[in-house]
């Protein structure tokens, strides 16, 4: 494909020849015989966005799930009504997602039995790390005697008993194309070799797909063990595998940094989320030289709940971006879809404005400039914090946006995506 009359972010007007890689960028290029030509007509052309932390199969499954978060549920009566009206999967389950205690209090099997239908029901916490099953569901997975029905997502002893349906991957991929997303990093933990290969080779996915497994691990405050984590990281490193450690609390971050100090660093090591970074951990995080992949979109999506749940003196520690960059920490952004909204442009705006849904400012000093927020989605799978450029030799993944660069940076909105190109092939064009 030849893209003519493109405008780059720096205002330069160029033509771009693209195949699997960008072949040439010049002031003027003549079409080759049989070459597709796209006239950008002065519109902005960027590297395709890479969402550095998503859960593809969970996002596909969420399309067939009922949502029971605080926006939908205001007490047990609402929860009971929504679950009663929910359709069942082909295998007879009711699958609900997005639950938070603010909706109807803490859940366990007994509460769920009171409000759920007789069918097997599983409800996922909005953090993504925990499911609650009713008694019928526990019987289905062979755990009828489980005390509370609260099961970890990463525990494949029960989750492997569930049927897998990838029918929603095509729709997820199409949505990503409309956002200008040309690559994703799947952060599902404990994928086996078959699961990893299946995602990378899924015909329904138009994006380039990178998988963190087998180096992804979710940490839990209830069983933090520095020696065990150090041994696990060392074993991954010995295999040449970088690690990606899920850190959403200060305790998890402290233990992770200590473990990485013990083992030494692999160049590809990452900390996922870094949802809470206390002041006295910023320097240690910078010294570790590990990349942080974080999601400021949660400031916009959950910020009002943070004002209720988190002491005001700790608000600045949540979902840091600017202070990490100033300290020299490599930072990339992602959406954590489906646990966060899958539109990366919303995450960019959240990084720039840091306002909750009700307009409250959370962490004013963590705001970054629009260009910085945009470029944090330009990294590659192997180098998330190194922004790709529109130049020869880079992957042939591009997005054409309506409007000049100044307007793109002012708006930061997916509505501006006109055309998405992956490996030199058009995968989306706005009608």
With H, G, I as helix, E, B as strand and everything else as coil, classify residue 357. Answer: coil
Per-residue pLDDT of 327-375, as tens digits, reads 999 999 999 999 999 999 999 999 999 999 999 999 999 999 999 999 9
Question: CA dist 155 to 92, 216, 232, Å?
Answer: 21, 13, 17
For the ranges 123-132, 164-173, 261-270, 275-284, the lowest mean pLDDT is seen at 164-173
Residues 6+ apart with CB under 8 A from 143: 133, 151, 158
- Whether the bond into 159 is cis, omega within 30 of 0: no
Q: Within 10 A of 145 (CB to CB), how many other CB atoms are there?
A: 7
Q: What is the pLDDT of residue 49?
A: 98
Per-residue pLDDT of 404-420, as tens digits, reads 999 999 999 999 999 99
- Whether the bond into 174 is cis, omega within 30 of 0: no
Q: What is the pLDDT of residue 193?
A: 72
Residues 6+ apart with CB under 8 A from 300: 346, 349, 350, 353, 355, 356, 357
Contact 51, 337 (CB under 8 A): yes
- Across the range 57-81, mean pLDDT stands at 94
- Across the range 215-240, mean pLDDT stands at 96
Confidence of residue 169 (pLDDT cuts 50, 70, 90): very high
Largest CA distance in the chain: 71
Confidence of residue 194 (pLDDT cuts 50, 70, 90): confident
CA–CA distance, 315 with 38 (Å, rounded to integer): 47
Sign of the Cα pseudo-torsion (258, 259, 262, 267, in order): negative
CA–CA distance, 122 with 89 (Å, rounded to integer): 11
**pTM here?**
0.94
Tokens of 157: 């002893």
Q: CB-side exposure of 407: number of CA atoms within 13 Å?
A: 13
With H, G, I as helix, E, B as strand and everything else as coil, classify residue 44. Answer: strand
Q: Within 10 A of 225 (CB to CB), how many other CB atoms are there?
A: 12
DSSP character string of 329-345: --EEE---TTTS-S-HH
Confidence of residue 428 (pLDDT cuts 50, 70, 90): very high
Per-residue pLDDT of 287-334, as tens digits, reads 999 999 999 999 999 999 999 999 999 999 999 999 999 999 999 999
Q: What is the pLDDT of residue 108?
A: 97
Identify the structural domains of the chain with CATH numbers, from first to last: 1-48+389-431 (2.30.40.10), 50-56+166-387 (3.20.20.140), 65-159 (3.10.310.70)
Q: What is the pLDDT of residue 190?
A: 74
């Amino acid at each position: 494909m030849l893209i003519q009359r493109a405008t780059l972010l720096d205002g330069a007007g160029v033509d771009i020849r693209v195949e699997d890689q960008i072949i040439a960028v010049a002031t003027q290029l003549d079409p080759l015989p049989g070459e597709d030509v796209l006239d950008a007509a002065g519109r902005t052309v960027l590297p395709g966005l890479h969402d550095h932390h998503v859960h593809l199969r969970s996002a596909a499954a969420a399309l067939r799930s009922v949502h029971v978060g605080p926006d939908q549920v205001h007490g047990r009566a609402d929860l009971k009504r929504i679950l009663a009206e929910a359709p069942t999967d082909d295998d007879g389950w009711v699958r609900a997602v997005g639950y938070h205690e603010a909706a109807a209090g803490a859940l366990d099997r007994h509460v769920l039995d009171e409000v759920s239908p007789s069918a097997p029901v599983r409800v996922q916490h909005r953090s993504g790390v925990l499911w609650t099953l009713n008694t019928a569901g526990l019987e289905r997975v062979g755990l009828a005697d489980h005390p509370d029905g609260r099961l970890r997502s990463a525990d494949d002893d029960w989750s492997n008993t569930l049927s897998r349906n990838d029918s929603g991957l095509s729709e997820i991929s199409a949505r990503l194309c409309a956002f200008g997303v040309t690559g994703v990093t799947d952060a599902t933990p404990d994928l086996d070799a078959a699961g990893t290969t299946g995602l990378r080779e899924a015909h329904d996915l138009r994006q380039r797909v990178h998988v963190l497994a087998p180096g992804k691990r979710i940490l839990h405050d209830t069983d933090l063990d520095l020696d065990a984590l150090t041994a696990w990281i060392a074993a991954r490193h010995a295999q040449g595998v970088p690690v990606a450690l899920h850190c959403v609390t200060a305790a998890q971050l402290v233990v992770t940094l200590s473990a990485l100090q013990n083992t030494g660093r692999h160049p590809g090591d990452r900390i996922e989320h870094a949802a809470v970074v206390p002041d006295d951990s910023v320097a240690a995080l910078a010294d570790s030289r590990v990349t942080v992949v974080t999601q400021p979109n949660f400031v916009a999506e959950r910020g009002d709940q943070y004002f209720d749940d988190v002491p005001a003196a700790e608000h600045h520690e949540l979902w840091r971006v600017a202070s990490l960059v100033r300290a020299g920490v490599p930072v990339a952004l992602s959406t954590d879809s489906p646990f966060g909204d899958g539109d990366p442009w919303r995450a960019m705006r959240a990084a720039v404005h840091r306002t909750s849904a009700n307009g409250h400012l959370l962490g004013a000093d963590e705001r970054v400039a629009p260009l910085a927020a945009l470029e944090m989605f330009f990294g590659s799978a192997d180098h998330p914090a190194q922004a790709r450029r529109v130049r020869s030799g880079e992957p042939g993944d591009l997005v054409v946006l309506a409007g000049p660069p100044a307007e793109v940076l002012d708006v930061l909105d997916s509505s501006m995506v006109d055309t998405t190109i992956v490996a030199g092939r058009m995968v989306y064009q706005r009608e």
